[in-house]
Amino acid sequence: MSDKVEKYRRIINGSHDMIFTSDLAGRFLDVNWAGIKMMGYRKKAELMGVGSISALFHKEGERKKFFSLISRKGFVKDYEAEFKRHDNSPVHVLISSWQYKNPKTGMIEFEGMIKDITQRKFLEDDLKLSESKYRRIFEGSKDMIFITAKNGRIKEVNQACVDLLGFDSKKEVLSLNSVEGIYTNPMHWQVFQKQIDRYGFVKDFEAGFKKKDGTRLHCLLSGNSVIGEDDGIIGYEGIAKDITARMDAIRNFRQRHRELWVLNSVAFAMNKTQDLNDVLMTALKKVLEVLRLTSGGIFLIDHQRVGFSLQAQQGLPASTTSNKISRIRLHDEALSHSLLKDNLSITPEPIFPPFRATLKSINNAKTVELTCFLITAKEKASGFLSFEVPSEIDLTTGQDFHLLGSLGNFLGGAIENARLNKALHRHREELKGLTARLFHSQESERKRIARELHDEAGQALTGINFTLENIEKGVWPESNALREYVSEIKKQINRTYEEMRRISYRLHPALLSDLGLEPALDAYLKNILKHSELRIDFKMVGFEERVDSEIEIVLYRLSQEVLTNTLKHANAKQFKLFIIKSYPHIIFLAEDDGVGFDPNKFEKNKQAMGLLSMRERAAMLGGNLNIRTSCGNGTRIRIKIPIRKGPYDR
């Protein structure tokens, strides 16, 4: 018996919980060492001196409830209370106690066990606080938060999830069979799940969610796994940030970038070439690339042939594009007739409604359905863009629609400019031809007048001179007055003859036709030197053989004009004239050290007419003229003329 008592005593003393016995009033009869330490005492006598278990209760209400329960039931199990230690610090305990009859005394006593749960209580309080904080974050977050089971069943969502998805209540969301129901693409949920299974988390995964009304919600999704007691995954937690507005802004930015890229490509093509077909082909290729289409064309309105001319195409069947006037039929006949009218006036709009058309092959064996967009400029229709559009693509709304409107207006301006440039080029060519004929007529007339002055008038003056000599021989010696009179007449006739020769030479130097440019200019410049103090430096380089006679005449006249301007207006001391033949051009350089002039006031300058004449002569031969001058710094003229073969070229 003593062994059994000793065994129980060891168990009691070795326990970490407080074990006690007391009488019905609660006065301690015995207590183990763990209880003494728990309550902060050093000796059993100190704790026993407290008198009763009632003195250990910190709160009066807990004490009364404890004694009420044990007196009524005869036992208490896991009663939670707060005791006070020897130093009055609190200790949270779980009390289990029961009545028993002492076999020695026959008295009813209490025995029980008191467990210190202070640490657990603190942990529970912390857990409650954490749960409270988590709940506030969970419900207060503006991002969607959801918790699902591993099979996808939704276990919990926050209010933001309900609001963003457009549901009426949490209950409605939780009633969904699976979280896949809120994804636009179930594959997003599957990828999310697989990534967490593999790595334990997902961060900033772009996913599309589907609102209750079917509209799309673009989100950045992050999540992690929920781990069970066996360390296995039992579910998933996810938080989704709504970036729909940001993605819309990015899409709009990209669309604007695409639009500017197309328009910039067309503008670059316009700067690079004057060929309208090249510009239209560039525009068509770029817009097809942006719209992700494979075939289309650009039709221009041809009022002369009364039809629509296919100017650029890509991907359309060859059998439908072989004719200059394409076999295209607009579904709206009234629109077709209106576009082909010469006097049609259109109120400018950013974009006009699209229309449908059918392009047919010659034998009607093949047809292509096209969606078309009008090209306009200056209140007139120029043509239309047309595309073969798959049924799943819609070009009649959204950013692509506005892109085609911008491109239509841009191309309208390009087409109008190309037509104006073409007309201007034609008029310039006509003017150049008229100028050339004028200069040819002028040269021919000069040559004719020079020849008549030399042949007709010169011979007449020579005949008069001979007649006067005969008269002079027949005059009586004593008639001195008459002889002197005749002699003076002969001198006047000789002076007139010399002046006629000079005028004839200026009109058309015979040396130019007979010997060429260099001897003619050399003689002309030497004659200038006789009557001027101007220092002249003249060189011709590369003229081993003569060039076209028309070029020689133009170079001679240019030399005359530039030297005349120098003598009249420049007040120069030195003049340089270099003519260089360097295939494939002839370079004409004239420079003086005179007063120069302000090129910004060129129209008012006295040299303007002469310089314009020089420019026209150069342009007549396909050349160009450049002037470099400023006030007080002389004038430099550079003319470049392409070489062309003439009767003297080998």
CA distance 54 to 64: 9
Sign for the pseudo-dihedral over CA of 15, 21, 27, 28 = negative
Beta bridge partners of 219: 207, 242
* 569 and 446 in a common domain: no
* 172 and 63 in a common domain: no
Q: Give the helix ranges, DSSP H, for 475-538.
A: 480-507, 510-514, 517-530
Nearest alpha carbon to residue 161 among 187, 149, 179, 177: 179
* 319 and 219 in a common domain: no
Total residue count of the chain as it appears in this document: 650
Report residue 100 as tokens.
């028993």
DSSP 230: T
Residues 6+ apart with CB under 8 A from 494: 465
User: Left (φ > 0), alpha (ψ -120 to 50) or beta: where does 303 sit?
Assistant: alpha
Q: Identify the weakest region by mean pLDDT among 79-88, 134-143, 451-460, 568-577.
A: 451-460
Strands, E assignment, 216-337: 216-227, 233-242, 296-302, 307-314, 328-330
pLDDT band at residue 648 under the 50/70/90 scheme? very low
Residue 52 near residue 27, CB atoms below 8 Å: yes
Report residue 390 as tokens.
């798959």
* 382 and 349 in a common domain: yes
Which is more confident, 312 or 229?
312
- The pLDDT score that the predictor gives to residue 557 is 83
Residue 155 pLDDT > 50? yes
What dihedral angle (degrees, nearest 10) is formed by the CA atoms of 316, 320, 322, 325? -110
φ, ψ of residue 55 to 5 degrees: the values are -70, -15
Distances (CA, A) of 194 to 23, 200, 202, 227, 235: 65, 9, 10, 15, 12
**pLDDT tens digits along 168-184:** 999 999 998 889 889 99
What would the mean pLDDT of 363-390 be, rounded to a whole number? Answer: 87
Residue 604 pLDDT > 60? no
What would the mean pLDDT of 258-283 be, rounded to a whole number? Answer: 81
The H or E element that residue 173 is part of is helix 170-174
Strands, E assignment, 211-295: 216-227, 233-242
* 167 and 146 in a common domain: yes
Distances (CA, A) of 6 to 3, 13, 267: 5, 10, 107
Distances (CA, A) of 228 to 150, 232, 234, 239: 11, 5, 6, 20
Domain annotation covers residue 130: no
Compute how many other C-beta atoms are within 10 angstroms of the C-beta atom of residue 559: 20
CA distance 60 to 84: 12
DSSP 571: -
What would the mean pLDDT of 76-97 be, rounded to a whole number? Answer: 92
Domain annotation covers residue 551: yes
Which domain covers residue 163, as residue numbers? 141-242
Residues 6+ apart with CB under 8 A from 165: 144, 173, 182, 209, 210, 211, 212, 217
Which is more confident, 1 or 611?
611
Residue 606 pLDDT > 60? no
What would the mean pLDDT of 397-401 be, rounded to a whole number? Answer: 80
- The pLDDT score that the predictor gives to residue 614 is 83
The count of domains in the chain is 4
Nearest alpha carbon to residue 557 among 597, 625, 614, 505: 614
Place of tokens 């709940």: 135
Report residue 18 as tokens.
């407080």
Compute how many other C-beta atoms are within 10 angstroms of the C-beta atom of residue 197: 12
Beta-sheet pairing, 367-377 with 380-387: antiparallel
CATH of the domain at 223: 3.30.450.20
Residue that is last in its domain, among 473, 508, 543:
508
* 539 and 611 in a common domain: yes
- The pLDDT score that the predictor gives to residue 515 is 83
Beta bridge partners of 31: 20
CATH of the domain at 535: 3.30.565.10
Residue that is last in its domain, among 478, 508, 538:
508
Domain annotation covers residue 439: yes
**Can the peptide bond before residue 317 be classed as cis, meaning omega within 30 degrees of 0?**
no
pLDDT band at residue 547 under the 50/70/90 scheme? confident
Which is more confident, 203 or 140?
203
What would the mean pLDDT of 306-310 be, rounded to a whole number? Answer: 88
Domain annotation covers residue 237: yes
Domain annotation covers residue 127: no
* 373 and 288 in a common domain: yes
Compute CA 485 distance to the chain's CA centroid, rounded to the nearest angstrom: 93
Residue 512 pLDDT > 60? yes
DSSP 207: E
Q: Which range among 30-34, 70-74, 105-109, 635-639 has the greatest average pLDDT?
A: 635-639
CA distance 513 to 168: 103
CA distance 621 to 554: 9
* 522 and 465 in a common domain: no
* 582 and 499 in a common domain: no
CA distance 476 to 556: 52
Nearest alpha carbon to residue 340 among 380, 303, 298: 303
- The pLDDT score that the predictor gives to residue 29 is 85
Residues 6+ apart with CB under 8 A from 185: 208
Residue 513 pLDDT > 80? no
Q: Identify the weakest region by mean pLDDT among 111-125, 312-326, 439-453.
A: 439-453
**Can the peptide bond before residue 354 be classed as cis, meaning omega within 30 degrees of 0?**
no
* 446 and 304 in a common domain: yes
Domain annotation covers residue 133: no
- The pLDDT score that the predictor gives to residue 537 is 93
| Amino acid, single-letter form, for residue 542 | G
Domain annotation covers residue 288: yes
User: How many CA atoms, within 13 angstroms, populate the side-chain half-sphere of residue 612?
Assistant: 9
- The pLDDT score that the predictor gives to residue 165 is 92
Residue that is last in its domain, among 508, 523, 544:
508
Mean pLDDT of the chain: 83
* 404 and 302 in a common domain: yes
Domain annotation covers residue 125: no
Residue 391 pLDDT > 70? yes
Which is more confident, 609 or 249?
249
Residue 635 near residue 570, CB atoms below 8 Å: yes
What would the mean pLDDT of 473-481 be, rounded to a whole number? Answer: 68
* 161 and 47 in a common domain: no
